[in-house]
Chain A
Amino acid sequence: MRFESPQTTKDAVALLAGAKGKGRVLAGGTDLLVQMKSGMAAPDVIVDIKRIPAMKSIKAEKDGMRVGAAVASAEMAEHAALAKGWPGVVEAADLIGSTQIQGRATLAGNLCNGSPAADSVPAMAAIGAKARVVGPKKRRDVLVEKIVTGPGKISLAKDELIESILLPKRPPRSGDAYLRFIPRTEMDIAVAGAAVSLTLDTKGVCTDARVIIGAVGPRIIDVKDGAKALIGTKVDKAALKAMEAACSAAATPIDDKRGTKEFRKHVVGVLARRAGQIALKRAKGSK
């Protein structure tokens, strides 16, 4: 097994492209190292991206905020502008693991691990986050929800990696929120998760909304009926109730020891309703 710490994205991509056998990107390693220890992953080349300056920074751009692929969730939580502009994404990343895990875990790692229960992914999808995917020949910007294709499966080619994630600039009077349900209060895999992003007009009528649910299907689910239930309303009780029902209906969870199907369908609706209430408050609070 080879371990490499390139200094540039280009070198990192070249290492992946040139890898004999399996190459794996190492960000925080909070998934990858666990998988390697248990024998689930045995890469031939490990490409550590934490030495690449472009991947370690949070930068404001014209279109929004660009978060490097090696930025740890703890750094995001401490970034005032990020926490203010995209509170739903930041609070989702801040739910990952414990303080120790948060010192390492990244958004891109959470995404590329491909877990249906990944906490930051519904939150990113709700605000339309875009991953910058870089390969040997070209780079492309891809909506986050296009990255994961199934449990543990992603759409990146063998020689591609994510360099950064763009959190697009928020329109005025927008708010987002993420909530998850676990049997205890922290450090657990979500039984269900829900992210809501919405935008209001000056009269308080919802003009745009996205409702994304997680952990209740093989991948995240974009609940279009949930969004529709909010758009055109003042996000009142009835609208939230309708959105809750749409989420419960859209969820396709399995029965497992962590929760029964019916419980997960119910709870994901409750979470979406509550996330909607928080997002609404945030939208009203912002100018």
Chain B
Amino acid sequence: MSARQIGRRLPRKEDRRLLTGAGRFVDDLRFEGELHVAFLRSPHAHARIDTLDTAQAAAMPGVAGIFTIADLTTDGVLDIPPFFLPKEVEGREIFAPAQPVLARDHVRQIGEAVAMVVAECASLARDATERIVVTYTPLPATVETATADAPGSAIVWPEAPDNLCYIHEIGDAAATAAAFAKAAHIVERRIVNNRLIIHSIEPRAVIALPPDSDGRQTIHTNGQTPHRVRDKSVELLGLPAGSLRCVIGDVGGAFGMKNMIYPETLSVLWAARRLGRPVRWPGSNGEGFVTDSQARDHVSDAALALDTEGRILGFRTVNRANLGAYATNMGTLSPVAGIPASCGPYRIPAAHVQVRAVLTNTVRTDVFRGAGRPEAINLIERLIEAAAEEMGIDRVELRRRNMIGPADLPHETPTGLVYDSGDFPATLDRAREIADLDGFGARRAESEARGCLRGLGLVPYVEANGGPGMTEPTDLITTPDGGVTVLSGMMSNGQGHETAFAQIVADRFGLDPDEVEIVQGDTDRVKHGMGTAGSRSLVLDGTAMHLAMETLVELARPIAGHLLEAAPADLAFEDGGFVIAGTDRRIAMREVFRAAHDPARLPPGDAPGLEAHAEFTPGKHAHPNGCHIAEVEVDPDTGRVRVLRYSCVQDIGLVINPMIVEGQIHGGLAHGLGQALLEDTRYDAEGQLLSGSLMDYCLPRADDMPDISIILEGTPCPSNPLGVKGVGESAAMPSPPAITAALLDALAPLGVHDIDMPATPQAVWRTIRNAAPAPQP
């Protein structure tokens, strides 16, 4: 019997090279004769460019070229458009400004590239940017999300005097209004989902090679979506289809931020073509702060209607979502995609959401770990906390009263999701057990003895990923030595695909995971794919592999029959091989694969080789769910908050590799904890980014993290045959409200009822002081 591979805590195959410094990142690559790029970037968040003189810089020895938007436009390079447009409310038109590859006449955010220098070495290129003479007329800026669409705010785009990109609505406004009209209790809150600077350890980077003798170019970059880079670059540069190969090696973090086509992707490709030499741009950490897409930045006026028993009657919210200065890539999608998750695991009869996407003079925002679901979950959970407090009902009891039970499934939310699996009340109970709620009183007393306050927050959640409209292809190719090569259109950027995907195939075919090679990140080898985003790699590609394996079994059957001298129909596939039913005569798949490449062992007339292709198009979303419990301690004298305990129960369906899953939960929690407590993105009124380096932007580190108890328990996913639900973004969703709820629980004795994220020491201290003029030390 072959060993099961699914469910094993197999150490990651990729870690040996990553931990020994053998990882292959863009900046590790060197090409003969390469040129180096530096961008002159705007010091203003909003200004008109009056003059731009490159003559002096261009005359510097070693400068190969200095380019402005005029050069790119002459060559037909297009601006980067939005890849998604939501439905606009009636009577309005969307205004979604595309982003020019270099600034055209105006700059509208800090750090916008104004000119591109290409030179023989990197420092020379940087020096040359300083010899470019630009005169600007600074213009007033709009920065604040909450007031961007109010009269009097500076106008970012003359085409949209109200600074609105779009207004989008979902749910039933009339039914929701009726629900609020008959409510016994209404809670209203302004809830801020704070802006985040995403930050990857490996900065974005591009190296473009010049066209080869066939006119084909290669781009080496880091990212999540090799095929999108290929297809969109070709489209926006006006190149013939098939003329670009995108290669992505190891990726040092992405989180959604590398899901994009950035101006640098296009300008560097264009420069290599123009100059006929390899051109490299390894972005720097500092550039990333002002050029990588940022995230979240929603200000919501949200409300919950309840009856006298605390049963939820309706939910409504008006979300102002700050897109920044341009509406490109998926920036337009992020504020609407996750909204359906705002009903949580609760029975909510009526809901209405209005999203007002505002344009401002800030760095563009886009999808980031959760892409709208963390924002949505934060809204409903903060409202429930507030309702419990105002109505004097226990917080857990209030949730339980409204919770969808297993017997209610499938359940359709008024926001359009259909939950099909999970036992939300059981998950909640299990979480309470592992978090040792009974011991909380003693722990709180112990904290108080040290002059500290302790609080607990609990958040159950359901999310949705991998839905209809997505199709992922995969190819399984057997090798002469009996292994399998998987051509995967996903792009691992820390998720451990090389290991987890290999486990799926090895499990089925009785192979060692090392005998399964996962190929990603080369569009010449893997022809199509969606790339990795939205927790869906396993749901889509894992399932496609599962389907391809079924095909492969059937294609292998005649070969196995030939080898066993039995009728194919008499063979049963089990434990990684074929057996003649009712006998102990069997052949391992590894042997069948080897034979498939050996003409001497194949059925007469069969051509050597054995491979299978499959595509998976989910009919509906997968719904990972869970319950997270945070316990925090506050030092009321300094406002410092520490997360001391964190427990979660996750229902993510079939678990391929628990260790990798736990790693994803750790990472997701780090992001959630950073958002809740540390990460404070600040612009001043002129649109200057004040938190523009790691010195001023407080990214969480290992020592900010608590130990985490994780239980993986749940039900297989009904909407894909592999039974997987996805986990990559999960912990980033419930953790901000769980930590905030714990903090408010701790501060309740001081009369604190509300606090915005991030609850930095200073913010906590100020909140305490404002709530109670003379707090006891």
Residues of A within 8 A of B (CB): 181, 183-189, 257-260, 263, 266-267, 270
Contacts and interface: CB of A to CB of B under 8 A. Distances in A.
Contact of B761 (A183, A186, A187, A257): A183
Contact of B682 (A185, A186, A257, A260): A257
B136 interface: no
A45 to B, nearest CB: 23
Given A257-B690, A259-B762, A263-B765, A183 B698 contact: yes
B704 A185 contact: yes
Contacts of A185: 701, 703-704
B762 A184 contact: no
B148 to A, nearest CB: 22
A36 to B, nearest CB: 14
Contact of B638 (A187, A257, A270): A270
Interface string B675-712: 00010001000000011000110101101100000000
Contact of B678 (A184, A189, A266, A270): A184
Given A185-B703, A257-B690, A266 B695 contact: no
A183 B694 CA distance: 12
A267 to B, nearest CB: 6
Nearest to B765: A263
B695 A189 contact: yes
Contact of B696 (A184, A258, A263): A258
A181 B635 CA distance: 12
Interface string B211-222: 000000000000
What DSSP secondary structure best describes chain B's contact surface? loop
Interface of A is mostly: loop
Contacts of B695: 188-189
Given A183-B698, A184-B678, A189-B695, A260 B638 contact: no
Contacts of A266: 765
A183 B760 contact: yes
B696 A257 contact: yes
A260 B766 CA distance: 10
Given A267-B638, A270-B638, A186 B696 contact: no
A117 to B, nearest CB: 11
B706 to A, nearest CB: 12
A259 B639 CA distance: 12
B690 A263 contact: no
A144 B640 CA distance: 32
Most buried by B among A189, A257, A258: A257
B317 to A, nearest CB: 30
B770 to A, nearest CB: 12
A188 B704 CA distance: 13
Contacts of B704: 184-185
Interface string B441-480: 0000000000000000000000000000000000000000
Contacts of B397: none
Contacts of B640: 181
B637 interface: yes
A263 B639 CA distance: 10
Given A257-B690, A258-B696, A183 B766 contact: no
Contact of B762 (A186, A187, A260): A260
25 contacts: A181-B638, A181-B761, A183-B678, A183-B698, A183-B761, A184-B700, A184-B703, A186-B703, A187-B701, A188-B695, A188-B698, A189-B695, A257-B690, A257-B691, A257-B696, A258-B696, A259-B762, A260-B762, A263-B761, A263-B762, A266-B765, A267-B637, A267-B638, A270-B637, A270-B638
Interface in B576-612: none
Nearest to A189: B695
A267 B640 CA distance: 11
Interface string B249-289: 00000000000000000000000000000000000000000
B631 to A, nearest CB: 18
Contacts of A189: 695
Nearest to A186: B703
Contacts of A267: 637-638, 761, 765
A185 B765 CA distance: 17
Interface residues of B, number: 20
Given A189-B695, A257-B682, 14 more contacts: A183-B678, A183-B760, A184-B678, A184-B700, A184-B704, A185-B703, A188-B698, A257-B690, A258-B696, A263-B639, A263-B761, A263-B762, A267-B637, A267-B765
A183 B696 CA distance: 10
A184 B704 CA distance: 7
A15 B696 CA distance: 38
Query: What 9 A-B pairs have minimum CB-CB distances, sorted nearest first?
Result: A270-B637, A263-B762, A185-B703, A257-B690, A183-B698, A257-B696, A267-B638, A259-B762, A270-B638
A270 B640 CA distance: 12
Contacts of A188: 695, 698
Contacts of A257: 682, 690-691, 696
Nearest to A181: B638
Contacts of A263: 639, 761-762, 765-766
Contacts of B639: 263
Nearest to B701: A184
Contacts of A259: 762
A116 B760 CA distance: 23
A224 B639 CA distance: 27
Nearest to A260: B762
Nearest to A257: B690
Interface in B635-675: 637-640
B286 to A, nearest CB: 10
B630 to A, nearest CB: 18
A258 B690 CA distance: 10
Interface in B743-777: 760-762, 765-766
A83 to B, nearest CB: 22
Nearest to B766: A263
Contacts of B696: 257-258
Contacts of A186: 701, 703
B671 to A, nearest CB: 15
B278 to A, nearest CB: 26
A222 B41 CA distance: 44
A184 B698 contact: yes
Interface in B400-450: none
Nearest to A263: B762
A187 B698 CA distance: 11
A238 to B, nearest CB: 12
Contacts of B637: 267, 270
Residue of A183, A186, A260 with highest tally of chain B CB at under 10 A: A183
Nearest to B642: A185
B397 to A, nearest CB: 36
A257 B762 CA distance: 11
Contacts of A183: 678, 698, 760-761
Contacts of B703: 184-186
Contacts of B762: 259-260, 263
A189 B678 CA distance: 15
Nearest to A266: B765
Nearest to B635: A270
Nearest to A183: B698
Nearest to A187: B701
A170 B765 CA distance: 37
A267 B760 CA distance: 14
Contacts of B760: 183
Contacts of A187: 701
A250 B682 CA distance: 29
Interface string B379-398: 00000000000000000000
A267 B682 CA distance: 22
A185 B690 CA distance: 22
Contacts of B761: 181, 183, 263, 267
Nearest to B763: A263
Nearest to B640: A181
A55 B760 CA distance: 42
A70 to B, nearest CB: 27
Nearest to A185: B703
Contacts of A270: 637-638
